[in-house]
Structure 1
């Protein structure tokens, strides 16, 4: 168990390099690894369950303590950035499948891994848990609805099928984990959760690797259009962190709240988007989604560095004044 704990710490520390490396492994060994695609939904359900064990129904009460911040982050996640992604994608690209991939990348819920970054930089974990909890539970309904509203006339979307799969992959595992947390009065957070954490990281690695096999042809035949897609995804990803920072300034959040708003606004559950793309769309949709794995964790690390510098500067100003 000690080795698994060390492995978990190692993966968390080197996450900015792990996920891009997994993408390249999937691309290189696509012919052999592609056969494991049916395992992805089950791996993702396990990841959701393991990641939700730290949340309980009592955390729902904490939402009432942070309603403004919660609502603002959800608006950024599901209106501001997705609409921007749709407008930018439609303006630059003629291919509706590429636009769908760009939109899908930015309508999936906030990433559960954002809690790791929030804890590293001493953010408001109660606020982050509330955002993750609500966003995870509404995702099965919000993601298909948003896709239908933004892309319904351009691509064929199986809303009912997508909703069913998202319920099974996200909502059910999350509710089961929360129920277990409640039944054990939170003890599971300190007993089972640490034991499952390394296996959850292994699941993340496998999901990224397996999903990457579907974009292998695009990497072997990279075109100027796909390079432009990569740039667009990068800039939109940066904008998520920026909107979170701007909102925290407007609503005068303290440093804890600012950290949570920035990471939750900027980080996405890319694995969920990749699973949806793989299940319901052609490979062209998968490319914009998976390319985000190249820099999401790196952007998170850069955001953390900037937050540290900003907090240090503010402490100096406070001492002087």
Structure 2
């Protein structure tokens, strides 16, 4: 298990390069991976099962302790990013399928990697975990409504079909994973070190499928989509922090909300786009999955050198090399 843990740490460290290499490979040989699209929802289900297995009831304790911060963060998650995605898509005059992809990314819940970034940024980890968990559980209801409201003007979409898909690939696996954690905790504890490897393998396979299926779109509009994704992500990070600051939250909570709002579950967006629209609509999600890890790492690195008054992970004053 020590070897597995080290392998998980290694792929986590080089995740961005792994995904970039996968995208380049899919672009160079799209025919080898274009047939993988039907597997995307199943890959996401496996990742969501792992997320559920890593969750504990204590992760929701912040709801009772600081409901205002959690409600504010989740509200920002489901308003800032969808509207920003819609605005950026129309600002850059993206084609309808790419605009749909941007909105899907914006309407998705928080990404699982955000918790690690918040920890590295010396932010409020408990708030981050609660936001990821709650926004994921709310996704079957809020994501279809938002997509229906914003995408319905561009392309026909079925809110019921989206709801069913999210229940199948997100809610059921997450609840199953949480149930396993409660019923067979020892077995799940043995599996936790494998989960980072599974997540990276799953996201890598999703990127291979999406880029291969939209290779022509990548070659014709890749730079424009990259610009749209960067504006979307950076805008989410900035506005998330601004919301926390305007509402008087402490610095650690602002950092958590910023990263949670800016980092999305792009795997879910890619799966929904692939099933309900086209591989081209999944392209913004594929690019987002790479870029938000780059921007999140850079921001976390900057904030790690600017510690807050207390270490929110322990409740003790910030000490050690990160406090200098």
Aligned length: 312
- Structure 1 position 266 matched with structure 2 position 265: no
Which residues in structure 2 correspond to 1:1-321 (within 5 Å)?
A: 1-93=1-93, 95-184=95-184, 187=186, 190-220=189-219, 222-223=220-221, 226-311=222-307
Of 243-252 and 21-30, deviating more is: 243-252
- Is contact 2:214-2:283 (8 Å) kept? yes
Q: Structure 2: 5+ residue runs without aligned partners? A: 311-317, 320-324
Post-superposition Cα deviations, 1:214-263, rounded to whole Å, max 9, x if no partner, equal 2211233x24xx53332122111101111222233334444542332222
Deviation at 1:296, TM superposition (A): 1.2
1:248 to 1:17, Cα distance in 2 relative to 1, 3 A: farther
SS of residue in 2 equivalent to 1:123: coil
Q: Normalising by the residue count of structure 2, what TM-score does the alignment of the two structures yield? A: 0.87
SS of residue in 1 equivalent to 2:9: helix
How far, CA to CA, are the matches of 1:167 and 1:90 in structure 2?
29
Post-superposition Cα deviations, 1:248-289, rounded to whole Å, max 9, x if no partner, equal 333444454233222211101111111111111134322322
Q: Normalising by the residue count of structure 1, what TM-score does the alignment of the two structures yield? A: 0.88
Q: After the TM superposition, which parts of structure 1 deviate over 6 Å for at least 4 consecutive aligned residues?
A: 312-316
Q: Structure 1: 5+ residue runs without aligned partners? A: 317-321
How far, CA to CA, are the matches of 1:313 and 1:176 in structure 2?
38
Of 34-43 and 249-258, deviating more is: 249-258
- Is contact 1:101-1:288 (8 Å) kept? yes
1:59 to 1:188, Cα distance in 2 relative to 1, 3 A: farther
1:57 to 1:2, Cα distance in 2 relative to 1, 3 A: closer
**Structure 2 residue aligned with 1:319:** none
Post-superposition Cα deviations, 1:84-112, rounded to whole Å, max 9, x if no partner, equal 32133224316332321221121111101
Deviation at 1:193, TM superposition (A): 1.7
How far, CA to CA, are the matches of 2:130 and 2:309 in structure 1?
29
